[in-house]
Structure 1
């Protein structure tokens, strides 16, 4: 789900005729798929990309976090712009920007260029994804057809995460890291050409409030400064000016964001929503799960290639077991939540996620995939899928229908922002704790600390769940 507002979406006669609705669905799911593919495939390409562009490890993590930050930080703004300016228009603008950013990423000659292009790609994703879902809701009226369409949308999302690792490894090994970006170009071009044919224009009914640009920009800038400070801490120390000054500026911008939101007639984060403990808890848990999931994926990819010596294609297939099991876990988790409520599922999944991280924290320098990696992924994967599904249910539990789109968008934003924070922290941890001796032994010590940090992220999620997702006399169930 994304930052759109389904309650404000009318069902006008305009739009695709019924026989074209399913073709439009395929088009929208393709756009969602390629955005997810872009996020996952670069994980396997990162070691080769870092080496060929001569990037320092602490700088290389920005290839991932640049997109995650702009995607998560501008997601709600993208959904609001689509409501105001026209959904098809914004979707096409986002797709064109995604095409451009992918081409520049593949052609990048320095690390700075690829990082800037990835940040633009995040802006594109923030326009594409919520708008595509809003178009889907506008195209299919409530009922069985809409439920089928939403199931297809969710299913493609799960498949995209798995296929992204497989294709990322394949393209990196056979053609070079550039092709994890170039593959997006023809897909985006086809989506761009077919959108005017299959998708009708639509806007939200009634007058809309302000866009919320100041709030979106100040909050995103604050997050960038936090990650910049964390990245510099490994080299300059936590008490140095290079670390403390960005943190101070981030606090100042956070204050500006709060002031802007208080004065806004249509804040990005409505105060009545933020006062709901289940929404706050569900998003905090999702944030912590995102921190653990993205950072663990990156650390596993580095261990598999740099320590175990697997090629990108081979390890992409091996690592995809986690994404596949997360996909399975998400569907199984939804069924269990329907019967038991979200609290037991969140609790059990957080315990399993922590166990998976701690299993991986024991990886040795002379390890093997089957003995030292597989079982951690097998424990972590299904718990991630079921846990994020349950946390999403918690976040939207009791939220009024008119605010369901904003609440859903917050979940996606929390996952993306959590991923950006997690990758920044574990990259710093890995650099700090890597042993003095070069080679696999020194790197393994840093990666062990990184997997332990992932367990700490999950422990923070446990604390958030305990404080906010408290038991009530009647269990929360999905109806």
Structure 2
């Protein structure tokens, strides 16, 4: 006979395993950026081709997330989780052993596919392992803190591994983590097949949604300087998504049952998620450039400079579950988004002759803390009243909103900052002083725009998210 204590112990061991994979996926996103210059030298990448080391992963990850989440509902969350981890591990090994740029980019695409299968199913397993309420809130707090620590570890570990062992090791490091997690999953995770009555697969819907998402992310990340192509591809995306909706309305076994959007908190959480990543994106992207290109810090010093940001996010993620249990998801989420907007306004005060302690550290702590504070209630809201059979779908939708939102927001912010910088240089010349000033003013414009986007997210959270919901079957 299994005691309740033993069962509880097994569930928390399952949480450790799931968090280890979350740590790895977040680590992989940040660690690869540090090794890009070394990869460029190794394979003689042009600046244009180098971006595909990142974009190949982003396209596959963002494009297949929805499919991966639903596959878990149909085929079993643990089974799909293991398949994704195995693929991710093998793809990481392939990338580390790459002998050409094409082989490396292919490996990164396969990594993205593996992550798209494992990431949403991991979150699904977590939500079904822990009961809705304070127990699940605590587990999600641990999940959020793990993600924040993965981002910090990636920046530091990337610099150390690349400098001491070579760029290959930023990929090799994933192999033992993903491999061990795949082997341990059958021991600590229960299998869940929540669609036993129907194994039909919506191939037409899967084609339209996956193609549309991949094309959308591709169009966004490659929009600069290609206005006509961008407009044409966006129009094609609209047609694909319109076709997807028509297919889902008619399909007997839809990939995304549209009834799911009658869950107000799930819909609201996805809307907020589209802009939630703005704070971390602004910090990691623009502040990294500001520290190195304006203040003159080294890559390693810049990595160390992000530690307070990551630690604040980890600490607030753990504390957020306590606040949600006391005050509910709506006030905590709204406050977190408003705090993030404030942090971005502070970042917009960066100056050419600025300092880390005055212009970067305070805002880093605020944005980091607000990101963790809002992530936990955001995730909790997305799963309130979601049936077990739709857990994978809810995870896939949330992760898709996160990836697509990040791609859109970053492209928009970069375009605004770049246009502002180029305008100043065109008017005043390219002396070092002008360049530093132009870059800084470009960053400032991006931060102000980011603050506005996050404020819109706070408004959406306040207006759409419900404090309490009744469980409904939504047949």
Q: TM-score range by the shorter chain?
A: 0.7 to 0.9
Q: What corresponds to 1:384 in structure 2?
A: 371
Assess, with a 3 A threshold, how the Cα gap between structure 1 residues 297 and 331 changes in structure 2: closer, same or farther: same
CA distance in 2, matches of 1:396, 1:199: 20
Q: What corresponds to 2:452 in structure 1?
A: 459
Match of residue 40, structure 1, among 27, 30, 38: 30
Query: SS at 2:277's partner residue?
Result: helix
CA distance in 2, matches of 1:183, 1:207: 40
Match of residue 324, structure 2, among 324, 329, 337: 337
Select between 456-465 and 165-174 the one with higher mean Cα deviation. 456-465
Q: What corresponds to 1:164 in structure 2?
A: 154
Q: What corresponds to 1:353 in structure 2?
A: 340
Query: SS at 1:363's partner residue?
Result: coil
Equivalent residues of 2:352, 2:437 under 8 A apart: yes
Assess, with a 3 A threshold, how the Cα gap between structure 1 residues 19 and 290 changes in structure 2: closer, same or farther: closer
Structure 2 residue 254 is matched with structure 1 residue 229: no
Give TM-score, length-normalised by structure 1: 0.80
1:127 CA drift (Å): 1.6
1:471 CA drift (Å): 8.0
Q: Deviations for 1:176-202, whole angstroms, at most 9, x for unmatched residues? A: 433221211233333345556666765
Structure 2 residue 232 is matched with structure 1 residue 242: no
Q: What corresponds to 2:113 in structure 1?
A: 123
Q: What corresponds to 1:8 in structure 2?
A: none
1:124 CA drift (Å): 0.3
Cα RMSD, aligned residues only: 4.0
Q: What corresponds to 1:263 in structure 2?
A: 250
CA distance in 2, matches of 1:366, 1:57: 29
1:418 CA drift (Å): 1.8
CA distance in 2, matches of 1:223, 1:205: 25
Unaligned runs of at least 5 residues, structure 1: 1-11
1:380 CA drift (Å): 0.8
Match of residue 82, structure 1, among 63, 69, 72: 72
Query: SS at 1:265's partner residue?
Result: coil
CA distance in 2, matches of 1:251, 1:198: 42
CA distance in 2, matches of 1:104, 1:450: 37
Tell me the matched-pair count.
462
Query: SS at 2:375's partner residue?
Result: helix
Query: SS at 2:224's partner residue?
Result: helix
CA distance in 2, matches of 1:66, 1:444: 33
1:319 CA drift (Å): 0.8
Q: Deviations for 1:264-309, whole angstroms, at most 9, x for unmatched residues? A: 2333433223234433222111110124423531222233334434
CA distance in 1, matches of 2:421, 2:206: 37
1:82 CA drift (Å): 3.2
Q: What corresponds to 2:179 in structure 1?
A: 189
Q: What corresponds to 2:260 in structure 1?
A: 273
Assess, with a 3 A threshold, how the Cα gap between structure 1 residues 22 and 174 changes in structure 2: closer, same or farther: same
Unaligned runs of at least 5 residues, structure 2: none
Equivalent residues of 1:84, 1:203 under 8 A apart: yes
Assess, with a 3 A threshold, how the Cα gap between structure 1 residues 257 and 142 changes in structure 2: closer, same or farther: closer
Equivalent residues of 2:417, 2:446 under 8 A apart: no
Assess, with a 3 A threshold, how the Cα gap between structure 1 residues 232 and 443 changes in structure 2: closer, same or farther: farther
CA distance in 1, matches of 2:467, 2:15: 35
1:447 CA drift (Å): 6.0
Select between 313-322 and 405-414 the one with higher mean Cα deviation. 405-414
1:20-419 maps to which residues of 2 (within 5 A)? 26-46=16-36, 48-49=38-39, 60-108=50-98, 113-134=103-124, 153-195=143-185, 203-204=193-194, 206-236=196-226, 238=227, 241-399=228-386, 403-419=390-406
Equivalent residues of 1:286, 1:411 under 8 A apart: yes
Equivalent residues of 2:345, 2:451 under 8 A apart: no
Query: SS at 2:463's partner residue?
Result: coil
Give TM-score, length-normalised by structure 2: 0.80
